[in-house]
């Protein structure tokens, strides 16, 4: 990468994330406004990504996110024949993980009467509903994530019967990617709750739609496309930018 381009890109990301944190905690009606638990949530998601990448990175490249898979494919770092199986595995894993949480907290779900809060434990929703801007926010957050992954990813993995190079993330990449997810949540998570991962939102939303519950809130399918399309667009844009600056 040209050093001048690198400086421009680095400073852009620095201000996007740094000023974003200030906006998230300082402006009215963001997800983080007046919510000390936001630090717990964003920290936990960053640590969750760190643990998951560390555990499986050496085996699959630890995409864990359809937007990452699409971005790696468009950047020429992943083969097309594995795109659909990876996305199916990611969606299925998200649903199973969500269902396990539901079983663990079943008594607490039954004790909770705020149906919007119940839905919020499964999937994201915008702090202020403005679908074009919500879509843009999800795309920008995912753009930063996937561009970071593309710049971090180094391993060449060998799987039985598959010849692939630049497969994704290895275990040593787990910490920087976890930190990246953490700061994206702190900086850009306020408007939408930062899905930045179609599987992370759609999988639990499907589980929420299926679990029996009297008086359950709507799964909000009118919004559900935003945390799917936005991250895919952001991942595709990251691949284009990555290809242009290499």
162's enclosing H/E stretch is strand 162-163
pLDDT of 145 above 60:
yes
Prediction pTM value: 0.89
User: Taking the CA of residue 129 as centre, how many other CA atoms within 13 Å lie in the half-sphere pointing to its CB?
Assistant: 6
Q: At what angle do helices 226-245 and 198-210 cross, to 10 degrees?
A: 170
Rounded CA separation 192/138 (Å): 7
pLDDT for position 245: 86
Average of per-residue pLDDT across 26-33: 82
- Dump the DSSP string for 94-110: HHHHHHHHHHHTHHHHH
176's enclosing H/E stretch is helix 174-188
Instruction: Rounding to the nearest 10 degrees, give the CA dihedral for residues 15, 16, 18, 23.
Output: 120
Average pLDDT, the chain: 86
CATH level 3 topology of 3-245: Glycerol uptake facilitator protein (1.20.1080)
């Amino acid at each position: 990468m040209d050093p001048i381009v690198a400086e421009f890109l680095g400073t852009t990301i620095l201000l996007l994330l740094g000023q974003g944190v200030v906006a998230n905690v300082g402006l009215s009606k963001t997800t983080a406004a007046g919510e000390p638990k936001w630090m717990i949530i964003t920290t936990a998601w960053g640590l969750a990504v760190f643990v998951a990448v560390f555990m499986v990175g050496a085996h699959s490249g630890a995409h864990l996110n359809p937007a990452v898979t699409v971005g790696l494919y468009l950047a020429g770092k992943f083969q097309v024949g594995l795109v659909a199986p990876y996305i199916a595995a990611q969606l299925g894993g998200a649903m199973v993980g969500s269902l396990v949480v539901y079983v663990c907290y079943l008594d607490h779900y039954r004790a909770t009467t705020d149906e919007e809060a119940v839905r919020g434990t499964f999937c994201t929703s915008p702090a202020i509903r403005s679908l074009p801007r919500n879509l843009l926010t999800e795309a920008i957050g995912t753009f930063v994530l996937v561009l970071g992954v593309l710049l971090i990813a180094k391993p060449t993995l060998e799987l039985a019967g598959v010849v692939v190079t630049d497969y994704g993330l290895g275990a040593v990449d787990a910490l920087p990617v976890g930190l990246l997810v953490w700061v994206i949540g702190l900086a850009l998570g306020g408007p939408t709750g930062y899905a930045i991962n179609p599987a992370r939102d759609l999988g639990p939303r499907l589980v929420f739609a299926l679990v029996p519950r009297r008086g359950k809130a709507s799964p909000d399918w009118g919004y559900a496309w935003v945390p799917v399309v936005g991250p895919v667009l952001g991942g595709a844009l990251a691949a284009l930018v990555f290809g242009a600056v290499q």
